[in-house]
Amino acid sequence: MARRLLGKKIGMAQVFVDDRAVGATVIETRPCTVVQIKTKDKDGYDALQLGYGEVKETKVSRPLAGHFKKAGVAPHRHLFEIRVDNVDAYKIGDAIGVGIFAEGEEVDVSGLSRGLGFQGVVKRYNFSGGPASHGSKFHRRPGSIGCHVEPGRVIKGKKMPGHMGNRRVTVRGLRVLKVDAERNLLILKGSTPGARGSLLELGKRHG
Amino acid sequence: MDDILRAVEQEYLKERDAFRPGDIVRIHERISEGAKERIQVFEGIVLKRSGGSTREMVIVRKISSGIGVEKTYPIHSPKIEKIELVKERGARQSRPYYLRDLRKIR
């Protein structure tokens, strides 16, 4: 059974679950196509290579175009591999869709968080900052970053201003509120990383 | 708002009778106390409708034993059994807050 899929974050909505209003993320998961089947004999391990998303043929590099042609499938924007229990159950060109998820189960969602640029320490690490007024000149500064002659340096990993966001973030255990196979939609309770329209990786939780 | 999001929320909308600010409505709210469930009815004048889609809210005001009481309800909540239009009264304002200052309401 396939455990992972890719999807596109459509945005957030508010729905009612058990008489309560909850924030929910709507994710579009078009079916993935099996592009290549990796086997123990040939590749050293069993896996499926899946393609996701449409892409114009002219936008694909020649080596990749050849790869898709060999499989006899249309070119896809993204390629990724998943492990399955039994690769023989699948054949090239098979489509794997939202059907692998069921209502009520929990999934992990990974994606690139929204890029926030160069941020200070208050926004980036939730430092409390100083007073805004009453003669204070210590507003949003990081404060002391170290000791004295001993150790005479700033310790590694010190939280300082810098680039924030645009990194891979995983949110674990989001409950599936609804699976809409017709429209290829997955509705999860809670929020996911990334901006609207960004690519998300969805994985079933083990156990 | 995205068409897909709108369609998703559409499925959660309840069919409610049309009512405007200034109208008098009766709200039937399901209240669960432990295992028991009962319906509480709140009748009053609509002061405001705000928000849209599943987030739409309504503020209803009534005079309860001499004291003005206002309650805010989510219009499409499954806990709201029904919203009855008692009297179409309307108001020239979309938010007839002046009703709060009137001595005699109804």
Inter-chain residue contact B9 with A187, CB threshold 8 Å? no
Tally of CB atoms within 10 A around A112: 16
A16 chain-B contacts, CB cut-off 8 A: 12, 54, 76-78
Confidence of residue B26 (pLDDT cuts 50, 70, 90): very high
A137 touches chain B (CB under 8 A): no
Q: What is the tens place of the pLDDT at every residue in A154-202?
A: 999 999 999 999 999 999 999 999 999 888 999 999 999 999 999 999 9
Q: Which of A9, A15, A16 to mutate to test the interface with B (most CBs of B within 10 A)?
A: A16
- On average, the pLDDT of chain A sits at 91
What is d(CA A205, CA B79) in angstroms, rounded to the nearest whole number?
A: 32
- Percentage of chain B modeled with pLDDT above 70: 95
For residue A8, give both structure tokens. 């596109």
For residue B87, give both structure tokens. 């009297």
Tell me which residues of chain A, numbers 93 to 112, contact chain B at a CB-CB cutoff of 8 Å. Answer: none
Tally of CB atoms within 10 A around A141: 14
Cβ atoms of residues B1 and B52 within 8 Å? no
| Chain A residue with the nearest C-alpha to that of B31 | A19
**pTM to 2 decimals?**
0.83
| Per-residue pLDDT, B105 | 55
Which residues are B59's β-sheet partners? B48, B72
Tally of CB atoms within 10 A around A176: 19
What is d(CA A2, CA A23) in angstroms, rounded to the nearest whole number?
A: 27
Exposed/middle/buried for A94, CB within 10 Å: 0-12, 13-18, 19+?
middle
User: Which DSSP letter does residue B5 get?
Assistant: H
For residue A136, give both structure tokens. 């204070």
Tell me which residues of chain B, numbers 78 to 97, contact chain A at a CB-CB cutoff of 8 Å. Answer: 78-79
Beta strands in B22-66 (DSSP E): 24-33, 36-50, 57-64
Judging by DSSP bridges, how do beta strands A20-28 and A117-119 pair with one another?
A: unpaired
What is d(CA B106, CA B102) in angstroms, rounded to the nearest whole number?
A: 10
**A19 to chain B, closest Cα gap in Å:** 5
Nearest to B39 by CA among B84, B82, B69, B77: B82
| Chain B residue with the nearest C-alpha to that of A183 | B4
Cβ atoms of residues A173 and A205 within 8 Å? yes
**Torsion sign, CA atoms A159, A162, A164, A166:** negative
Tally of CB atoms within 10 A around A156: 5
The Cα-based distances of A192 to A157, A158, A166, A201, B35 in angstroms read 27, 28, 13, 10, 35
A22 touches chain B (CB under 8 A): no
Residue stretches of chain A with pLDDT short of 70: 1, 206-207
**A182 to chain B, closest Cα gap in Å:** 13
Inter-chain residue contact B8 with A14, CB threshold 8 Å? no
**Torsion sign, CA atoms A9, A14, A17, A21:** positive
What is d(CA A177, CA A82) in angstroms, rounded to the nearest whole number?
A: 24
Inter-chain residue contact A15 with B54, CB threshold 8 Å? yes
B77 touches chain A (CB under 8 A): yes
Mean pLDDT confidence for B86-98:
89
| Chain A residue with the nearest C-alpha to that of B5 | A13
- Please report the ipTM that was assigned to this predicted complex: 0.81
pLDDT at residue B48 is higher than 60: yes
Contacts of B105 (CB under 8 A, 6+ apart): B45, B61, B62, B63, B99
User: Which DSSP letter does residue A59 get?
Assistant: G
Exposed/middle/buried for B19, CB within 10 Å: 0-12, 13-18, 19+?
buried
**B6 to chain A, closest Cα gap in Å:** 8
What is d(CA A144, CA A154) in angstroms, rounded to the nearest whole number?
A: 10
